[in-house]
Structure 1
Amino acid sequence: MTGSRQVPREEGLDNSLSLLREGYMYIPNRRHSFATDVFETRLLGQKAICMGGEGAAEIFYDNEKFIRNGAAPKRVQKTLFGEKGVQTLDGEAHTHRKKMFMSLMTPEKLEELKNITTNQWAYAAKKWEPKEEIILYEESKQIMCRTACQWAGIPLEEREVLERANQLGNLFESPISVGPGYWKVRHSRKKVEKWIEEMIVQVREGTMKCSEESALYTFSMHRDLEGKLLDIEIAAVELVNILRPIVAIAIFINFTALAVHHNPKESEKLKNSDDRYAHMFVQEIRRYYPFFPLVAARVKKEFTWKDYTFEEGTLTLLDLYGTNHDAELWDDVDTFNPERFADWKGSPFSFVPQGGGDYMMGHRCAGEFVTIEVMKVSLDYLANRLSYQIPSQDLSYSLVSMPSMPHSKVILKNVKRI
């Protein structure tokens, strides 16, 4: 990176181990020590630019300046995202594929999702009552797996739930693992994709009936810009890109339980409030607790920002966690305060728990609407519809582990429906 200003540069032949050691705080620590929103380092054997803050996010989501093709390491594509999925596309191909996802985000489909989520929570709560204790994270993965499959139109037998929930969970729990852990994730992805591929074939052959409004039908019959049906393997990857993020909401559900437990005054307001306060509470959970640490892109063509020159092809990482905890954007960043969203008029680049920018044309997560609605239902259960005890346990969470979650995975005792 060259230009009229010299960008701060981290020393070292390769700092990938530092990224793994520091996790969510790798970029914020250096932004603080260098007193800048952009610095250069070396990661995965190559030069990389790391940046954060509202201005950085706005530049990062400019499709004329950055592309996603070739940004995510192959091992992450083979675990977390799947190969040749929407996250790897740019230009018209990305816009066209993204519309397929956004077609599911209608008010009617989101209302259907809320009803399914409510019913799945009720089903789970009934099963929990005879038990002395439950591990919320493991149980909520199953709730989310049932919810995701029902909403997407994918048949799921009860005897399959645990296996499929764990397979989908493996994809985001250990996406950058090495050794046996990596191959465990690869095995899970192959099993899940094969399961979905078989259904796509049946839908296309007319031997499986499903609603034409469902994700299963929509993705099975989607045609690319040339009018061709997607390859079965790619269609399966994209359907998994519906299921996996919904199951991953189990992480946010754990943090929802933590937020309710650790903020009783704020939680009490949920008992007599409308949807507006629940929405604020959920947004603060998404800002305050760790979820995605960062996102990656490559420079499309050389440009200059803040007198720094970004060279074509350079790997660039945007700091999501640090931007959501940026003291220049947020007051009292380390205080859990839903009221900050009461009259919030922030931009799509200052609040980026699942990425930023435009939903339709950009790379902002299509499932953000899904996450918010599912979290509001889950919050209602944990704050208003269930009674339970939280016994002594390790509720701390690490900013090194990616993704992070409470160490105990939140144990609940004596769960009863109210």
Structure 2
Amino acid sequence: MPANPNIPHDKSLDNSTALLKEGYLFINNRADRYKSDIFQARLLGQQVICMKGIEAAKVFYDTNRFERKGAAPKRVQKTLFGQNAIQSMDGVAHLHRKLLFMSLLTPAHQQQLATLTRTQLEVAAEQWETADKVVLFEEMKNILCSVVCLWAGVPLSETEVTERADDFISMIYAFGAIGPKHWKGRSARNRAENWIKGVIVDVRSGKLSAAQGTALYEMAFYEKPDGSRLNHQMAAVELINVLRPIVANATLITFAALALHEYTKQKEKLASGNSDYMEMFIHEVRRYYPFGPFVGARVKDTFTWNDCQFTKGMLVLLDIYGTNHDSRIWNNPSHFNPSRFTDWKGSLFDFIPHGGGDPAKGHRCPGEGVTVEVMKTTLDFLVNKIDFQVPTQDLNYSLDEMPTLPKSGFVMSNIRRK
């Protein structure tokens, strides 16, 4: 396919290595270099259009112009999403299944998960008081794994928690990796799917009881538009797509703790009990710190936008991190400032850490509300329920790694309940 003559075209033979080296900044670096929100590059042997910004997000999340089928590489499906999962669906089938996910992640469910998280934190704090130190990321992935399985109705013994939590995290941290970390993610995916598939089989056969309304029950007995059920494997993949993202919040919570440590005045403001400021702080953590780097889709039918021709079947990447750090949208985007959300109107396309658009109609993550509520509970706990010290450690994180995390995982010591 010839280069699109109306937009900048990166002259490298293939940018795949550069993408792995530059990570979160790959698209933004070139957008700055070419002084353009849109450019063409070659990735994994194919021509790809990369873009960023509000207008780009509006176009990207137009389901009449873009589809997800064939957009996620197999390496991502075999680690992060699962093969043929909801993230790769389009049209009526996607909307039908998306409604199932939305029904499992309502505000009432969000509060249930937040309440369970607080209970688990209170139990954990008793143990933290007797420990020389704890690594917050490690603690939170285990807590959230226990919480989400209990909430979903998935049986999980105490001896299994760390193993299952590690597998969920390995899937997440493998999607942008090569070599051993990637293969570790694939092995984790296989173990998790076999585990959950066995649970689904037991529920359907009556060997295991599941309460109606739980994620386990609803996924096991969900009927597609044609009235058929998902096969055991697919039901397991989609249930994992409910469980895994909630465990992934351990990363955002670790970054939130880092923000408390780096910006000490923020902790004083959060201690005042202002719920509006708490939410602004959480939004700023999600905007400022790296989580999702970019997202891909394929052109549904050829169209022209911004003097660029989008050819049917072409892969397009939208820069999530770059849009959340766009100086035209955010004043001084490299500064951590929760107050920037004081007058924010809740646009669906300027603040997109969980994707853009309406989650009920498109591909924005339906679990965004869960993330906010679980982070609220955990932040309140860290600020108002315990005291702790932050010993010397390596809190640096690399934007070259996708996803990324403070290297120490955020170590806390001398923890005492208030």
Task: Report the TM-score, using the length of structure 2 for normalisation.
Answer: 0.98
SS for the counterpart of 2:40 is strand
Residues 2 and 308 from structure 1, CA distance in 2 versus in 1: closer, same or farther, beyond 3 angstroms?
farther
Q: Contact 1:298–1:314 (CA<8 Å) still a contact in 2?
A: yes
Deviations 1:17-69 (A, max 9, x none): 00011000000111111111100000011000000000000000000110000
TM-fit CA distance, 1:213: 1.1
Deviations 1:343-375 (A, max 9, x none): 211421100001111111100001111111111
Q: Contact 1:395–1:406 (CA<8 Å) still a contact in 2?
A: yes
Is structure 2 residue 354 aligned with structure 1 residue 320? Answer: no
Deviations 1:145-178 (A, max 9, x none): 1111111111111011111111111000122333
TM-fit CA distance, 1:325: 0.3
**Whole-angstrom CA distance in 1 between matches of 2:253 and 2:102:** 24
**Whole-angstrom CA distance in 2 between matches of 1:206 and 1:103:** 24
TM-fit CA distance, 1:219: 0.4
**Whole-angstrom CA distance in 1 between matches of 2:259 and 2:47:** 39
TM-fit CA distance, 1:78: 0.5
Percentage of matched positions with identical amino acids:
49
SS for the counterpart of 1:103 is helix
TM-fit CA distance, 1:183: 2.4
TM-fit CA distance, 1:182: 2.6
Q: Contact 1:9–1:40 (CA<8 Å) still a contact in 2?
A: yes
TM-fit CA distance, 1:384: 1.5
TM-fit CA distance, 1:250: 0.7
Q: Contact 1:4–1:307 (CA<8 Å) still a contact in 2?
A: no
Q: Contact 2:290–2:321 (CA<8 Å) still a contact in 1?
A: yes
TM-fit CA distance, 1:2: 7.8
Residues 46-65 of structure 1 aligned to structure 2 (within 5 Å)? 46-65=46-65
Query: Which residue of structure 2 aligns with residue 191 of structure 1?
Result: 191
Query: Which residue of structure 2 aligns with residue 168 of structure 1?
Result: 168
Deviations 1:57-96 (A, max 9, x none): 0000000110000000011100110011100000001000
Q: Contact 1:2–1:310 (CA<8 Å) still a contact in 2?
A: no
Q: Contact 1:3–1:307 (CA<8 Å) still a contact in 2?
A: no
Give 1:267's aligned amino acid. Answer: K
Query: Which residue of structure 1 aligns with residue 206 of structure 2?
Result: 206
**Whole-angstrom CA distance in 1 between matches of 2:259 and 2:366:** 25
**Whole-angstrom CA distance in 1 between matches of 2:3 and 2:307:** 6
Q: Contact 1:2–1:309 (CA<8 Å) still a contact in 2?
A: no
Query: Which residue of structure 1 aligns with residue 337 of structure 2?
Result: 337
Query: Which residue of structure 1 aligns with residue 405 of structure 2?
Result: 405
Residues 102-181 of structure 1 aligned to structure 2 (within 5 Å)? 102-181=102-181
Query: Which residue of structure 1 aligns with residue 270 of structure 2?
Result: 270
Q: Contact 1:270–1:383 (CA<8 Å) still a contact in 2?
A: yes
Residues 13-412 of structure 1 aligned to structure 2 (within 5 Å)? 13-412=13-412
SS for the counterpart of 2:248 is helix
**Whole-angstrom CA distance in 2 between matches of 1:182 and 1:106:** 33
Give 2:337's aligned amino acid. Answer: N
Give 1:195's aligned amino acid. Answer: W
More divergent stretch after superposition (268-277 vs 283-292): 268-277
**Whole-angstrom CA distance in 2 between matches of 1:417 and 1:213:** 35
**Whole-angstrom CA distance in 2 between matches of 1:289 and 1:217:** 35
Q: Contact 1:95–1:360 (CA<8 Å) still a contact in 2?
A: yes
Q: Contact 2:211–2:217 (CA<8 Å) still a contact in 1?
A: yes
Q: Contact 2:3–2:9 (CA<8 Å) still a contact in 1?
A: no
**Whole-angstrom CA distance in 2 between matches of 1:408 and 1:168:** 19
Q: Contact 2:359–2:365 (CA<8 Å) still a contact in 1?
A: yes
TM-fit CA distance, 1:107: 2.6
Q: Contact 1:137–1:254 (CA<8 Å) still a contact in 2?
A: yes
Structure 1 stretches lacking a partner, 5+ long:
none
SS for the counterpart of 1:416 is strand
Give 1:42's aligned amino acid. Answer: R
TM-fit CA distance, 1:106: 2.2
Q: Contact 1:2–1:308 (CA<8 Å) still a contact in 2?
A: no
Q: Contact 1:391–1:411 (CA<8 Å) still a contact in 2?
A: yes
Query: Which residue of structure 2 aligns with residue 8 of structure 1?
Result: 8
Residues 4 and 107 from structure 1, CA distance in 2 versus in 1: closer, same or farther, beyond 3 angstroms?
closer
More divergent stretch after superposition (272-281 vs 81-90): 272-281
**Whole-angstrom CA distance in 2 between matches of 1:85 and 1:376:** 29
**Whole-angstrom CA distance in 1 between matches of 2:44 and 2:197:** 32
TM-fit CA distance, 1:205: 1.6
TM-fit CA distance, 1:4: 9.5
Give 1:406's aligned amino acid. Answer: P
More divergent stretch after superposition (333-342 vs 279-288): 333-342
**Whole-angstrom CA distance in 2 between matches of 1:3 and 1:27:** 17
Q: Contact 2:132–2:414 (CA<8 Å) still a contact in 1?
A: yes
**Whole-angstrom CA distance in 1 between matches of 2:111 and 2:254:** 23
